[in-house]
Chain A
């Protein structure tokens, strides 16, 4: 089975696999050019894999958590490709891809009590999730300050962003190759991205009084004119 994997929860990552074999990988490290670079990376990866998009059997996309705008670019792209060529789409948690790396890189002894995955959520917070020794996620992904993380080994790019995590962490990137080869083993998540944060929006409570403002020349004075009956 041929798989195209897309993850934009951190930077921009693409891979193409045929069964257990990764045929191509393409990465863009600039975290502010998701829109610009994603489709060119997909094109490059498919060319390198010598596959047409029409020959892809499955698209797997990382649904986050991750910074919103970049995350949505990956999902919108995956979804449009799936619609355009009637390709099935599988949606997974991006932190679960890091957990696959965790199981590979942490020794059984190190992960005996379980481990964490972690990416940078900006605003002095991280996205993280907890896994058992076998790499099965325990609960939902979360967002919060790095200091609140349980005392377990940590895998992921979030480690690089927060020095206090360094002594028990390993910096690993989301591996699109693993997403392509093993994405079907990961649990599916819903159709909505894993935002984990509500939109920044405040419901206006009381309107600001305009009466305190100085009267400006030409501003209207209360003056009701009677309408002719």
Chain B
């Protein structure tokens, strides 16, 4: 049997992605980002993102079709992020996908964005040994997932109780007068700094927190601590050591994320950890995870950077998986669900 050919659309946050995948093979991966338009606000503005999606969806789709060089009649289905994400942003992608599926007379699959982040790694590294754990870290999400089955068995075992890790990066970058988004610039500054210069707090790692929040995260206290530290330094007329603050902040984030991920793998007796989301590109998080997973005998898997951030390929790849397993198409009244739980991979 020939491999399923699927077009996938992603529009849950600030990237408009259209990907075309045949089996394991990526035929097109077109992404338009509105990141520059959010820069002066220091974070993603939902309405600006939604406007940008509408502007970008047509051209991105046309580029993807041209790059893949396929005829839509060859497609086995159209997949789209139904949630979770920003409502207005999701609505643009779902509307476009529904129209395409109808026009081309193809089945439509509304799928879960988080599950797609996990599954996309299979394009680079082959089948994921199950059970596995996934650590998804980006500006929009910070989650630990247990994956027993890619379509029916994903459960959230931990999440942030306040800010996403990527948001903390953005806010700290702002406090330090660095550019938006904060991830890459803080990572760069941190290379020149001392990660032990300042002992910033590690959220939800105290004994009394672990009882209830063993695998959960909190970055709001860390963000406040950095802000406070910088303001005190400024008040006292000391020069703020941007590189040291960046390195120490980054160390705190990477320390908590990697420690909890490895602890979760041990607790759930899982020996494979998949990384996903934009923050997966962070050099310190990667380094520390490699070290700690190595020590614990856990295999760390991470898709190439272009597949870690939001894209249409991961949605198409999940569509391929759904078709391979005979998943039923989504109902005609498919909508967007901002709070779609990760347990619902196919809507």
Contacts and interface: CB of A to CB of B under 8 A. Distances in A.
Given A72-B95, A224-B241, A199 B100 contact: no
B276 to A, nearest CB: 26
Interface in A182-229: 191-193, 195, 199-204, 207, 209-211, 213, 216, 218-225, 227
Q: Output the residue of B98, B334, B335 with the most chain A CB within 10 A.
A: B98
Interface string B97-114: 111101110000000000
9 contacts: A36-B333, A38-B95, A68-B88, A76-B92, A80-B97, A201-B41, A204-B41, A210-B231, A219-B221
A210 B95 contact: no
B145 to A, nearest CB: 26
Contacts of A39: 95, 98-99, 102, 332
A170 interface: no
Given A37-B333, A207-B227, A222 B233 contact: yes
Contacts of A81: 99, 102-103
Nearest to B203: A218
A-B pairs with the 5 shortest C-beta distances? A84-B103, A199-B47, A80-B99, A210-B227, A201-B45
B341 interface: no
Nearest to B224: A210
Interface stretch (B134-142, B146-154, B190-198): B190-198
Interface in B231-279: 231-233, 235-236, 238, 241, 244
Given A39-B332, A199-B45, A83 B61 contact: yes
Contacts of A219: 201, 221, 224-225, 228
A224 B198 contact: yes
A69 B11 CA distance: 13
A227 B197 CA distance: 7
A68 B47 contact: yes
A148 B199 CA distance: 59
A13 interface: no
A91 to B, nearest CB: 12
Interface string B162-206: 000000000000110000000000000000001011111100001
B57 interface: yes
B91 A34 contact: yes
A101 interface: no
